[in-house]
Amino acid sequence: MKGWDKMKPRITDVNRYLLALVAIWTAGVILSLGLNFYQLKQSILSVARTSAEISHDKDIIYRLWAAKQGGVYVPVSEMTPPNPYLKVPHRDVKTTDGLSLTLINPAYMTRQVNELAMEMHNFQGHITSLNPIRPENSPDSWEREALKSFEGGVKETVSIEKMSGKEYFRFMRPFVTEKACLKCHASQGYKEGDIRGGINISIPMEPLRTIERSQRIDLTLAHGFLWIIGLAGIGVGTRRLRYQTLQRDKAEEKILMLSITDQLTGLHNRRGFLALAEQQLKVSDRTKRGVLLFFADLDGMKWINDTLGHKEGDNALIDVAAVLKESFRSSDIIARMGGDEFAILAIDMAEKDADIHMARLQDQIDRHNDKGNRRYRLSISMGCSCYDPENPCSIDELMVQADKRMYEQKRSKKF
């Protein structure tokens, strides 16, 4: 009995220790689950935001293209009747064989594209203003508050909102008046540079929430299993969590790569180039080693598109990307900035190395033209600027310098 009495405190201590371990383990599992839920939620919101930004950027590109053309004529139909709010000369015309055509301005075109997107993908796009020409374009309460905030200098508004009982990720940025917009909107008193309204993109959250719920269930089961088996099963639980994290990371990486990659050439796009270039300039500041920025432009792109067709124009851009990859190192940052413009950031290079790179590029172009069987010869104009870490400047300043020198070279050529 005396021995038993001496053991009682020890057993009690062990029980207390076990209870403490259980409490700590349970708290750790709960904390881990909560953190995974938070990361999953942020990933879902990141996917929604990326989708909204891509849709918004496409709307801007469509509108800019249509505005630069001064509008587009299409046959009058039930789907596309004449726009009663478009007060411009020659809105409605007839072809010589009697086909009735009506002028589609950027707003009308974008509205029809958004309606089609709503039918096909349930994405909702809406161009609105505090002073709309078309009453149906009037803002709802959320859009009205966003538009007012834009006038105060806010650059974008983002939130999760309920619309018709359904959850949407709402994303809105201001729409700035450009010169091409004044054809239809000058009568409203707008001037170039004014904030004329905004483009609202609403992404349905239900498909993403379905994924989120599925992932939450998986995470809960994983943590529950991990909690039940305790320390003995921590290896199995960890592998499952690692697998889920890897899948999530792969999905995020894929979305990130899509957002920074030019789909036609496989190079970085403008967004990806600027992000990587900013990082590289910081590295250059630390290492005190220079960087060369090349700005390149495909010569005769308009002639290729107009004469041989846009498919051949795309092939020419793909050829330029291949030539640039052959001419520069894999460590250099190569991007298509848009249209027929390309940029290359050559790392750890001095100004004296610029001519070597340009000569190497011309050699690759000559080789490409010698083995090609095309109705045109590939020609690239290029300008270069040098980043000196002893006299730092911004990436924008480097691009302006390289762009200016590129156009000087282009003007010296005869086509």
State the DSSP string of 45-106. HHHHHHHHHHHHHHHHHHHHHHHHTT-EEEE--SSS---TT---TT-EEE-TT--EEEEE-H
Domains of the chain with CATH codes: 2-44+209-253 (no CATH), 48-208 (3.30.450), 270-412 (3.30.70.270)
Phi, psi of 139, rounded to the nearest 5 degrees: -75, 150
- pLDDT for the residue 7: 40
**Model pLDDT for residues 51-74, shown as the tens digit of each residue:** 888 877 777 777 777 777 777 888
- pLDDT for the residue 182: 55
Structure letter (DSSP) for residue 192? T
- pLDDT for the residue 181: 57
CA angle, 357 then 361 then 363, to 5°: 115
- In this predicted structure, the answer to whether residue 257 has a pLDDT above a threshold of 70 is yes
- In this predicted structure, the answer to whether residue 116 has a pLDDT above a threshold of 80 is no
Q: What is the mean pLDDT of residues 343-358?
A: 89
| Torsion, Cα of 383, 387, 392, 396 (10° steps) | 40
H or E element in which residue 5 lies: helix 2-68
**Residue 5 in tokens:** 């009495």
Q: What is the mean pLDDT of residues 235-258?
A: 62
Tell me, what amino acid is at 218? D
Q: How far apart are CA 33 and CA 319, in angstroms?
A: 49
CA angle, 253 then 261 then 120, to 5°: 85
Query: Which is higher by pLDDT, 359 or 20?
Result: 359
- pLDDT for the residue 118: 62
- In DSSP terms, 93 is beta-bridged to 101
- In DSSP terms, 346 is beta-bridged to 292
Q: How confident is the model at residue 334 (pLDDT cuts 50, 70, 90)?
A: very high
- pLDDT for the residue 24: 77
Helix, strand, coil percent content, the chain, rounded in steps of 5: 60, 20, 25
CA angle, 308 then 313 then 314, to 5°: 140
- pLDDT for the residue 105: 75
Q: How confident is the model at residue 128 (pLDDT cuts 50, 70, 90)?
A: confident
Q: How far apart are CA 213 and CA 304, in angstroms?
A: 50
Phi, psi of 389, rounded to the nearest 5 degrees: -60, -20
- pLDDT for the residue 2: 40
SS3 sequence of 314-345: HHHHHHHHHHHHHHCCCCCEEEEEECCEEEEE
Q: What is the mean pLDDT of residues 274-302?
A: 91
Tell me, what amino acid is at 14? V
**Residue 55 in tokens:** 């849709």
Contacts of 255 (CB under 8 A, 6+ apart): 46, 47, 50
- pLDDT for the residue 99: 87
Instruction: Give the C-alpha distances (Å, rounded to integers) separating 71 from 61, 89, 107, 126.
Output: 14, 12, 10, 19
Q: What is the mean pLDDT of residues 387-410?
A: 90
* Count of residues making up the chain: 415
SS3 state at 194? coil
C-beta separation of 116 from 124 below 8 A: no
Q: What is the mean pLDDT of the chain?
A: 80
- In this predicted structure, the answer to whether residue 241 has a pLDDT above a threshold of 70 is no
C-beta separation of 333 from 345 below 8 A: yes
- pLDDT for the residue 236: 52
**Model pLDDT for residues 105-115, shown as the tens digit of each residue:** 777 777 777 66
Percentage of the chain modeled with pLDDT above 70? 81
**Model pLDDT for residues 141-191, shown as the tens digit of each residue:** 888 888 888 888 888 899 988 888 889 899 888 877 666 555 555 555 556
162 CB-contact burial (10 Å; exposed 0-12 / middle 13-18 / buried 19+): exposed
